[in-house]
Amino acid sequence: MAYFDAASAAPLHSVARQALLASLDEGWADPARLYREGRRARMLLDAAREAAAEAVGCRPDELTFTPSGTRAVHTGIAGALAGRRRTGRHLIVSAVEHSSVLHSAEAHEAAGGSVSRVTVDRAGAVDPAGYAGALRPDTALACLQSANHEVGTEQPVAAVAELCREAGVPLLVDAAQSLGWGPVEGDWSLLTASAHKWGGPSGVGLLVVRKGVRFAAQGPGDERESGRAPGFENLPAIVAAAASLRAVRAEAAAEAARLRELTERIRARVPRLVPDVEVVGEPVRRLPGVVTFSCLYVDGEALLHELDRAGFSVSSGSSCTSSTLTPSHVLRAMGVLSEGNVRVSLPMGAAEEDVERFLEVLPGAVAAVREKLGAPTAAVAREEDVLVVDSLGKRCPIPVIELARVIGDVPVGGLVRVLSDDEAARLDIPAWCEMRGQQYVGEEPAEHGTAYVVRRTS
């Protein structure tokens, strides 16, 4: 079985396993106690903090270990907003942030705060000018991920950090996807990360708050971890997380070059091997091991099951995965095709022969899913000079398949109205038009669902 979903969780690094087992024997005591076992545990905790801080590029007393990366994000945003409440209650995020950031933004809005969401281009990258335009006198905090978790696009953190610094606004960087590859550039103020993304154990997050940043921890106070992560530290997991971070950093340069070659191979060959495919994300400024593509006329969940049966573990941002029936917020913000979406994220040590076998298996898997879907017969009617396709009650990619089948039935310049009540159609039909060279006119209200209007141009 080839595991190609490292962006969700990287396999446990061998150094992490060794450190975890060793610290189970040495680090079980309370590091706050003064007896021998407590002092030994404190030494392990201090050493782990110093190692992690060195990897991040911060002072040890600026770094807090949290129970998860999500908890680090929630704590960091809430504490920074509370610390700057006298400045205002305005928060800036990008439209493609991890759900932990967006959920914090939603909670802030529900509590009476205001949020600006900076848009991205078709590659998933923000323009620093978008942050410059969103900054206001009452802005308390800005957030920007270092690299996107779904498409691998790296963000211009240093440029945005400089703009925020000039405005006197702290910038929180979610570095979960990139920290294993290297420190985050720029004059950021807060940083979060998660150990299971770089091969450490799950249940360990990092929160860094630079000295001088106003921060007020929320919730009941606790004497541990500067009051920012209450409860007894999971010391064996913390030690393993710090040890594995140091280990992967030592391998990062050589492994990044190797994985970039493998992902470039996928990016170049998939469109040649499989018809009607769009490779998405920034082609150059991206994470080393991540490549994402979307296949027209394919159900994402069905394709993932087909690949799983062939021995490949991949993930999807498709609207048709088992975890969600709404389009990926990242793909929606980018304006790219969401149906049949596949994210390949190679772990360190991924074998070249597994990538080659994936490229051999993929065309057949896509063809099998398309054959099973069968391109159902569309219910077609005419309203004057407009062809109407009734796809109500059908999930994407069926409305797109039916559109593709009938577009040739109208003359060049003619219109097709696709009736659909699936939210994914709002993203997938314009994306199909972009890929196929047809004109997306827009959407119109309909008695049931929405009418998406397409003009045939070729």
Active site residues: 320
d(CA 64, CA 76): 10
Tokens 């030592």 -> residue: 250
Report the length, in residues, of the chain.
458
Phi, psi torsion values for 393, nearest 5 degrees? 80, 5
Residues ≥6 apart with Cβ < 8 Å to 20: 201, 236, 237, 239, 240
Residues ≥6 apart with Cβ < 8 Å to 107: none
398 within 8 A of 372, measured Cβ to Cβ:
no
d(CA 350, CA 258): 9
- Run of H or E residues at 443: strand 439-445
Q: How far is CA 275 from the centre of its chain?
A: 26
Q: How far is CA 271 from the centre of its chain?
A: 23
Q: What is the largest CA-CA distance in the chain?
A: 88
Print burial letters for 200-229: b (CB count within 10 Å at least 16), e (below 16). Answer: bbbbbbbbbbeeebbbebeeeeeebbeebb
Enter the tokens of residue 279. 């490779």
233 within 8 A of 225, measured Cβ to Cβ:
yes
Cα radius of gyration rounded to whole Å, the chain: 24
425 within 8 A of 399, measured Cβ to Cβ:
yes
Alpha-carbon torsion, ordered 346, 348, 351, 352, to 10 deg: 70
Enter the tokens of residue 52. 């992690």
d(CA 49, CA 204): 12
d(CA 159, CA 150): 22
Cβ atoms within 10 Å of 377's Cβ, excluding its own: 8
Residues ≥6 apart with Cβ < 8 Å to 62: 53, 208, 209, 210, 211
Pairing mode of beta strands 2-3, 379-383: unpaired
Phi, psi torsion values for 112, nearest 5 degrees? 105, 0
